[in-house]
Structure 1
Amino acid sequence: MRTPPEARHETDDRLRDDAGDLTGYRIGDAYELIEPIGGGGTGTVWRARSLVQEDEHVAVKLLREDLMAEPKAVNRFVQERAILLMLRHPHIVRVRDLITVGTSLGLVMDLVEGGSLRDHLHEHGTLPPGEAAMLLAQVAEALAAAHRRGVVHRDLKPDNILLDRVDGRLHCRLTDFGIARVLDTPSMTTPGALVGTANYVAPEAVYGGSPAPPADVYALGVVLFELTTGRPTYGGGPAWAILRRHVDESPRPVEGMPEAIWQVVQHCMDKRPGRRPSARDLAATLRSVARRLRDLPALPPQVADNRLTTLERPAVPRPRSSPSRSRRPYFAVVLLALAALAVPTWNFLNRPGAGGDAARPGANSTAAPVGGHPGNASPSGRPAGRNARSDGAATVGDATPAGSAGRPPTEATEAWQDWECADSYTWDLGHPAVVQPCHAVGTERVRLIGHMKALPGVQADVTISLVDADTDELVAGPHLCSGLMFTDAAPSHDCGPFVDNPPRGHRYVVVQKWVYTGRSILPGGEARGKEFAW
């Protein structure tokens, strides 16, 4: 039966509406959508009925229509089909077809009824060590097949491992190769981009290394630890803090964990990729471990380990086996699961030298006594970063940094209002830095300052500008602070304070911009403070 043209037009309208119900929509003469059964960052997965073999059900993954205008998203979607069509393995979900649905694209895949390994873990808390080893042996075999074809999964995690039952026993099927990379073809990902999910990213990927099979093995070691303990090796905190722990720390055993499981975890999570086992060898090891531990009960679920989730805490010495300290970690867009992570908020301002009751980020105002400045600006008014300076480029009006004596020329008589800052530190996906622009209004002039905090090893040039809030026209600045270097000892810097004398009778906003130096591949950022009248 063919879908009437008017029905197809009606469905196109429903596809354009995110809330549209596609239940019953027929895709040509081949499939009929029944119900949504899952979703992710790129689209929704539907249960569908085959119109050729009516008793057969399949899964149809529809690309979000708004992503159709993004070539990289479409490329990845098509790439997933190309990769999976050439991968034939009992533990890899089979892709059957690439279809068009209205103005969107869809992948037709085998329907796996048992949910994901993540669902199974949520239901049981932890798995018996022998069962965890047997399930992941199947996954390792699937990875070995992919690696033989030059394919790296790059996002191995319990969510992408589906379960069904074969002869009454759990059977794993690896899926979602949408961000995998065929090693002998140009990558569709921005060169050097960090792709994956923070809890499972290998240290060499954090440093910008090319994706390779050992990264999948590393992630499988994290999953083995998670299945047996109920939590990943480095859980809790924002994504960048977890990524740092992958680089700086080594996993710790949990009381009661069988030694055989712990040895596999350690071997898989070795900081040196060349020391990790191949997926093929790992599969054999896991099957042997599963036989030896098949009668052991599951451990009680462990509480998430939240150590070192912020940079204020002491740094952990880097293991000798980790990459060289001279190579600075950097981050580009982290796809998929990172979007769900909470935005961290820190208190840069409440520290010695800030003066009085410095306000906290997110407050309605940032208080500082008359003549003081928030943050870690030095008494001279210069930014705290090494080699930081104000060039005063393109400055309009009386734009003068604080004087060498620590105060602008008329500060003794100037009456300053409290500092006003952006409500929270700005944190964009993929950025290893957070920023917060601020201003303070005086009787004659306006003060500007920008706070910035970043991971050790990051270096940036920062500019602070004053723009008209209505026209976005530059009014003062940009004031440049160049070469801000962030380290374990100096995780935060201020750019400013600067003093400007903009025209009266307007509304203004402080704009803080930054670019990463030495890492031109990583785009810079921009943040805006609160609007104010002058």
Structure 2
Amino acid sequence: MRTPPEARDDTDDHLRSLSEDLTGYRIGDAYQLIEPIGGGGTGTVWRARALQGDGEVAVKLLREDLMAEPKAVSRFVQERAILLMLRHPHIVRVRDLVTVGTSLGLVMDLVEGGSLRDHLHEQGTLAPAAAATLLAQVADALSAAHRRGIVHRDLKPDNILLDRDDGRLHTRLTDFGIARVLDTPSMTTPGALVGTANYIAPEAVYGGRPAPSADVYALGVVLFELVTGRPPYAGGPAWAILRRHVDESPQRVEGMPEAVWRVVEACMDKRPGRRPSAKELAHTLRVVAKRTADDQPLPPQPVIHELPSFEPPLPKPRPPTSSRSRMTVLAVVLAAVTVVAVPAWRIVHRPSAETAVQRPDAPPPSADGQAAKPQPSGLPSAGGSRTPGGARLGAGAPTRSAGPVEAIVWSAWQCADQYTWDIGHPLLAQPCHQTSGVAVRMVGHAQALPAIQADISISLMDADSGAVVDGPHTCTELMFTDFAPNHDCGPFDATPPRGHRYFVLQKWVYTNRAILPGGQVSGPEFDW
């Protein structure tokens, strides 16, 4: 459970590069920067000397590239405003807000003992009594913040600093940069997910309004982590961890004292109203510390979570049906889903390697295999949705007259090896293609957490030149829910020039979480 050497090396290199730039820099007549001592997503923390005295302070510098981001600057200034409101022995005191070149600096008390994260890396795990004693102090700090209507929103060991008084460790809560004053409008983009995946309360995953109970949930996660050496849902990408917060319950580790386990269960209750207040939690943790005074630390527990396996929801072959038959089948399926409560996403279809494809002038066949009557322009037919003008997307031109059905042999579907994810992305994507002698067919599969909404586009790309050959075909405002976590964009058919190498490119943008960047995934290359 110690920091990997390569991670420490990266941090040290970054801090050394900063040290060469600003060491000795004077901030007016008040402070002089000495050396960088830490950093995070919004800036770097420096040790500095107070020129009007002999004391040292910490100066948190906002990254210069963020100065062009109004929300980042607002959050940085908000941190000062919030911390100036809070005066508590277990909260880092803010002294000043200064300008440093083209950046901003937040001057705070210097806390020398590192973070609780550093302490955990050194120890592996903490004795239950030690963990409860430290977190009782954090609960006291949260109680003071909650009384003023302030929610921290990013409680984790990294944001709990340590100092020593008479040889005993004391906590100092810091980094209220993304905290929210409950009585003021939020500066966060509506629907944005704010925090760190391992510590986010399940209601926050759904975009719920931040509340003190979310901080209590995170404190329960930290208690579990201090005693076992890992968070309860650790392992894999952020989307998998978030899903566990919603769907799973923490599992007691062998050897964990009953008193500690009861606190974890209470804090991590899925129902926010059932969690204790921070004030109640502080009292309970001090009782737990006394009851577990003789308990020894547990050995660090391994991360046991694995990524869920995903089978691409490829369509299965459907027998051709008439419009009346299709409506009857749809009614039966909907009734079955309603009665037995089977999630709709399990009713999926997989295309076969050989699919009867209509010529552009042929209507869809009926249940008995005979050509059906042409459908009125603008109505959907089996095999694709229609544009406003009546043309079927991915299935050729609109139906015009009766004619023979021509069987075309398609290759098997070729897809990206697996759903592809990036850290921080709540959406998985998998582009696929199949070919025939006359066309290339492409489809994009997607799976995401509930409440995610996205626009997805599919394009056929020339592998050599990188040019778009066909598309983009766009599927807009796809909403993912508990009962519909999967969506397909397509299939779409293209007739690119022969003798080239191609691949399918799937892109997406989030339409209800603007703070998240979009993504893209490439399918396997193929010759046609």
TM-score with structure 2 setting the length: 0.74
2:8 equivalent in structure 1: none
* SS of residue in 2 equivalent to 1:448: strand
Cα distance change of structure 1 residues 348 and 43 upon mapping to structure 2, 3 Å threshold: same
CA distance in 2 between counterparts of 1:523 and 1:24 reads: 37
CA distance in 1 between counterparts of 2:218 and 2:232 reads: 10
1:326 equivalent in structure 2: none
Q: What whole-Å deviation, never above 9, does each CA across 1:406-444 have from its counterpart, x for those lacking one?
A: xx95634x7x6x877668755356543211334456654
Over the matched positions of the two proteins, sequence identity in percent amounts to 67
1:59 equivalent in structure 2: 58
1:115 equivalent in structure 2: 114
2:426 equivalent to 1:432: yes
* SS of residue in 2 equivalent to 1:299: coil
2:351 equivalent in structure 1: 378
User: Is the contact made by 1:394 and 1:478 (CA closer than 8 Å) also made in structure 2?
Assistant: no
* SS of residue in 2 equivalent to 1:184: coil
Q: What whole-Å deviation, never above 9, does each CA across 1:216-240 have from its counterpart, x for those lacking one?
A: 0111111111111111111112112
1:27 equivalent in structure 2: 27
User: Is the contact made by 1:214 and 1:276 (CA closer than 8 Å) also made in structure 2?
Assistant: yes
1:292 equivalent in structure 2: 291
1:513 to partner: Cα distance:
4.6
* SS of residue in 1 equivalent to 2:45: strand
1:468 to partner: Cα distance:
7.8
2:281 equivalent to 1:282: yes
2:312 equivalent to 1:348: yes
1:508 to partner: Cα distance:
6.9
User: Is the contact made by 2:384 and 2:394 (CA closer than 8 Å) also made in structure 1?
Assistant: no
Larger Rg: 2
RMSD: 3.9
Q: Which moved more, 1:133-142 or 1:199-208?
A: 199-208
Cα distance change of structure 1 residues 409 and 30 upon mapping to structure 2, 3 Å threshold: farther
CA distance in 2 between counterparts of 1:378 and 1:516 reads: 28
Q: Which amino acid aligns with 1:152?
A: V
Q: Which amino acid aligns with 2:351?
A: S
TM-score with structure 1 setting the length: 0.73
Q: Which amino acid aligns with 2:385?
A: S
2:161 equivalent in structure 1: 162
Cα distance change of structure 1 residues 137 and 234 upon mapping to structure 2, 3 Å threshold: same
2:253 equivalent to 1:258: no
Q: Which amino acid aligns with 2:146?
A: H
**Whose helix proportion is higher, 1 or 2?**
2
2:90 equivalent to 1:81: no
Give the one of 418, 433, 445 matched to 2:439. Answer: 445
Q: Which moved more, 1:240-249 or 1:40-49?
A: 240-249
CA distance in 2 between counterparts of 1:512 and 1:486 reads: 21
Cα distance change of structure 1 residues 185 and 420 upon mapping to structure 2, 3 Å threshold: same
* SS of residue in 2 equivalent to 1:107: strand
* SS of residue in 2 equivalent to 1:300: coil
CA distance in 2 between counterparts of 1:83 and 1:96 reads: 12
Alignment of 1:409-424 (within 5 A): 409=406, 411-412=408-409
* SS of residue in 2 equivalent to 1:176: coil
Unaligned runs of 5+ in 2: 1-14, 318-347, 358-381, 400-404
CA distance in 2 between counterparts of 1:502 and 1:471 reads: 14
1:461 to partner: Cα distance:
6.3
2:205 equivalent in structure 1: 206
CA distance in 2 between counterparts of 1:430 and 1:189 reads: 17
CA distance in 2 between counterparts of 1:437 and 1:188 reads: 36
* SS of residue in 1 equivalent to 2:282: helix
Cα distance change of structure 1 residues 421 and 248 upon mapping to structure 2, 3 Å threshold: closer
1:371 equivalent in structure 2: none
Unaligned runs of 5+ in 1: 1-14, 313-345, 355-374
User: Is the contact made by 2:356 and 2:407 (CA closer than 8 Å) also made in structure 1?
Assistant: no
1:394 to partner: Cα distance:
9.2
User: Is the contact made by 2:228 and 2:299 (CA closer than 8 Å) also made in structure 1?
Assistant: yes
